[in-house]
Structure 1
Amino acid sequence: MALNKRQERIIAMMNDANEWITGKELSKLLNVSDRTIRSDMDAINRYYDENLIESNLRYGYHLNTEVFRTLDIELAEPIPQTPHERCVYIIQELLFEKNELNITSLQDKVFVSEYSIDNDIKRIKKMIEPYPQLKLVRSKNFIHLEGAEESKRKLYKDLLAEETQGNFLNLNNLAALYKDFDLLLIKDILEQTLDKHNYHVREMAFPMLMIHVGIAIERIIRRNYIQTDRKNEELKQSQEYKIAEEFFHSVAKKIRIEIVDDEVALLALLLMGKKGTNYTKDLVSMSHSMSSDEIVEGMLEIIHNDFDIDFCQDSDLKIGLKMHMQSLMERQMKHVEVSNVYLQEIKRKYPLVFEMGVRVARYLEEQLGEEINENEIGFLSLHLGSAFERANLSGKYRVVMIYPHDQALSNMCVRKVETRFGERMGIVECLNFFEEKAILRIKPDLILTTLPLKHDLDITTIQISLFVNLEDESRIFQALNLLDKKRFQKEFQEGIKGMIDPKFFYTDLEAASSEDVINFMCDNLYEAGYTPKDFKESVLKRESMSPTSFTYSFAVPHSFDVLSKKSNISVAVLKKPIPWGAFDVKLVILLAINEEDRYMLKMFFDWLSNAVSDANRFATLLESKDYNDFINRIVE
């Protein structure tokens, strides 16, 4: 006799939860009696003739994952279990799947009463209050979302940011998914191997690398090997191959796995990143009219068009997707299907990320003429979710929270901090105690602790209360402002030093007019190949419109519309002040900036606006004796 719908839901729910659940909790979720739950558990185990559901008088029920993996069970969609999860689910359905939802059908899907759905509708209305153009409308037994497309996309992106919020690639969370080995131990082995070879992997790329490593080891343990045609003698001579080989040998000593040449080759190619494409043919273009580069660009365009999320500048994502396309084509050609230990985790906890994966998979099916299964969608979602998290955290300060084990109070503390300061910082990890090794691995900009803490690391540390009062907020605010100042100073120092070349720095320059100075400085840049021929003409044209001189005896001439070939800030300290517009000028700063470095202009003018508000500080620049003296004074 087949399982009924409720029993299928029980298996799905227990797989989602991945922990012990009491019969009382299940009975409330499914709106049935404890006795019915006991009967369902017996029926499930009899149906599969296996002890799929384990029971314990104290803890309740638990899904036996070992047995689950051996059974061919097709799970229903993950069930949103908390009110917030249901609200996000409903919004997602209204945004992407259906124009309107039938409330009765919705109750059956999420296993809650009409009363619960009514409360969810109230919560959603509250959630969309910051979007005045959006309105949740109920008409009899249906609900739909009204409003501008732009507002709907903004709502989606904000929910997506809340969904990931620094936890999407949290290695501690990911490690819990592996039952047969310790992913954090594997991470330590990889880091030690990389250090031994003095090989650097970018911090933001490391979590995705560990995801691939975890999947590879899981495959090896289960003897679900993948064969690749991309290994060759040239690849085997590379440093990356030697690192990958040594890494797997070190892992084998700890958890007794086989050394699989194909997995070594795949890890070596991953370490290589973009360089890895030099070792292999483009498997996409070999069987299709498009190249893998064109396919990846199409994927990013779909994301941009459908979700208004621009990943076009994310080189890590482009490389990752291109490498994934190669592996995908290899699997499709060999008719190999791989399991994805992360699939249910993504579908359950990150449905909006998974939605992006689904859209990209549809595009791939159209272009490749191949069916993309859920496991593959899960892999694509990992790449996209990681890219979104990188984009969402870029520019934010990385913060570690240290608090005791009182989970309820601690969660409240974290939420208050994120609500108040989420736009400026991201909590990348929460710890119950301070451990120097862990902190050095995370490399945070700031530590927030609810416990008294002293350490020798050069990391700003603020003690706050679990209740985050106004005094705590003030301390955090001041710490972030100080970090802003340090960040600006560091970026400005690095940028300005690279832009001001000693050979275009002049002291005691003699000139009779502003035109003399501009001619001299522009001619030198042109002769050195820094600027095009019409650059000087554009600078003079800009001056004729309105002189670029300011009080405190300086001028900042720049091109009207002609970009330089190579960015440079040319500086002249004049021997004697000369008339320049309404002021006498002694310091001339000529800006010659190309397209790539336009961001430096804003940084320079930010510095300038601060400098001119301090007459004494600016006056010291006019006393600069040489290039080094000027640089030291400008970055003070």
Structure 2
Amino acid sequence: MFPYNRLNEIFYYIKNHEFTKAQLLASQLNITERTIRGDIQVINDILEPFQLQINLKRKYGYYLEISNQELYEEFLVQLDSQKKSTLDTPSDRIKYILKTLLYRNDYITLEELSQDIYISKNTIQNYIKQIKQTISTYNLEYITKVNYGVKVIGNEDDKRKCLIDQVFAHDFENYVVGFSHEERAIFKGIDLEYIQKVIIHSLDAQNIKTTDFSLKNLIIHSALMISRIQNDCYIHTNNQLKIPKKTSYIVENICKQFEDYFHITISNGEKQYFYLHLVANTDYEVSSLNVDDIRSKVKHLLNIVYFDYSFDLRNDEILVNDLFYHFQSILTNKTFSINKRNPLLNTIKANFPLAFDITLTSTSKVFSSPPYTLNEDEVGYVSLHIGAAIERCFSGQIQRKSTILVCGSGQATTRMLEARLNAYFNDKITIVRKASYKEFISYTERELKNVDFVISTIPIESPYIPAIVVDFSLTNDDIESISHFLSNMSIDKTQKTSQFFDESLFIKLKSVKDKNHLIRMLCEKLEENHIVNKNYYESVIKRETLAKTNMSDFFALPHPMEVCANETKVAVALLDDPLLWDENDTVQIVFLIAIKQGEQNDIEHLYDVFIEIVNNNKLQQSITHCQNYQQFIEILSQNID
């Protein structure tokens, strides 16, 4: 169609945007605007037989003018047909074969399939092995009939789930912008723009909200429904599912428009299918969930976060409301057995691991009974709310040092000293309590555990925290003493990082039998140093069953279900040979975390270090090459900013 790939890039960019300026295209493609103008002339020559043209509007840029929608669709299909000859990767070819098998109602020979995408018989046999394994998880069966060929059989609902999960790309950034060649090729002859227009207009008319990603999901599910009906493949009616009257109007209205435009008949089973995806991808409230129960679960969740991790988010009204509505949506989907993919899951786990882990362990306790247990995709969404609340509530406080003000001269002098301290050190300290000498000496270690130091007008000693004696007038010498004290307290990040590691908790191995064996070795190291008890291993293994703990191709971060250590430490294992960690994933760096309850600052700092390692491939490589603890801590110190 287009003689070279740059023309493809220019055409698709202009097609997917209302207006596109020449300088933007030139910048993105690293060519001159003059070359852009020449390329567009070539493109227009090719578009002319299809009554298409790229025009230029002054001050706005280039746009695609469509004079004949039918010819436009035909052009896109022809353009997409080029894709078949460019199925360069095994993944692309497997998707193509899988799509073909799921759309065929009759048998097809492997010879036909191999000729269709220009691969050998041996290669297609290898692909079929992978396809068999994939479809088995959707209750689908691959069958062979002598002299006829092969086909995939199973329920239509399961076939559609397989198509959505395995054939369609869910790359967040590209998925929500327009329609890809693959989507147009699969939905050949189906006007995706019309489906989009009907759905957007209908949702807007009912003031139903949705996200860009969910809107695209609903469009794709609608197109899939239409294409499968055209292929004589139907969803059967579920007699247990009743569409509520208030929802029936919008479902009937949209389906009627689809029927008239595409000349199809949409059965009750298909209307139920559309209804379920309408519920899953919008804020439309249709379920009769127990509102009080959801509020109780939110309260329970935030209590767990507080008591296990010392992040008190219980009075964050924004978080409470966000969680209430989010859980309402999740539980509605679960009522109808709808699972929504989270396109940001890997990004969330890599960049917000603390929020994800807090959410995973906390929700596993609140939603512990099937069918309402949360999967990783759902936990990922909830963790964004938890992470945002932690930022709101704690990001501005963590840098300040907490202090108790002890003054024995009465309230007036206490107020004066407090005002003077706040005037000089407002951004460096937080006075968490004011006390008399008698009150202070009665405080236990537990009551002082979150206090950094004491400022007192009375000579005072505490076995638990340091103290500075000042005059109630706060002289210049006093100010200098406090400043010097604060400087000494603020040890640099490297020192703060190294305190969590220890040579006695470090092992270097060539290889190890399996993941569980290595975890047990690291747990024994922690137990020998009296950091954890003997139940720690079981808790770590239990956490491994909930979700993956490998953060990258090199790095795994196992940890227990509870915050239950006597001290915050990290046991480290470095491996010469990659260790199979989860299914097909291997690692060479393993950090087993032990965290003491109540040490939220330590938790946040540690996870910042982990994020830095995950996002620095060079650092991961350097760590794997360390031969001993000294080299490891030196590399870590050099690279942690």
Tell me which interval the TM-score lies in, with the shorter structure as reference length. Answer: under 0.3
Query: How high is the TM-score relative to the length of structure 1?
Result: 0.25
Q: What TM-score do the two structures reach when normalised by structure 2?
A: 0.25
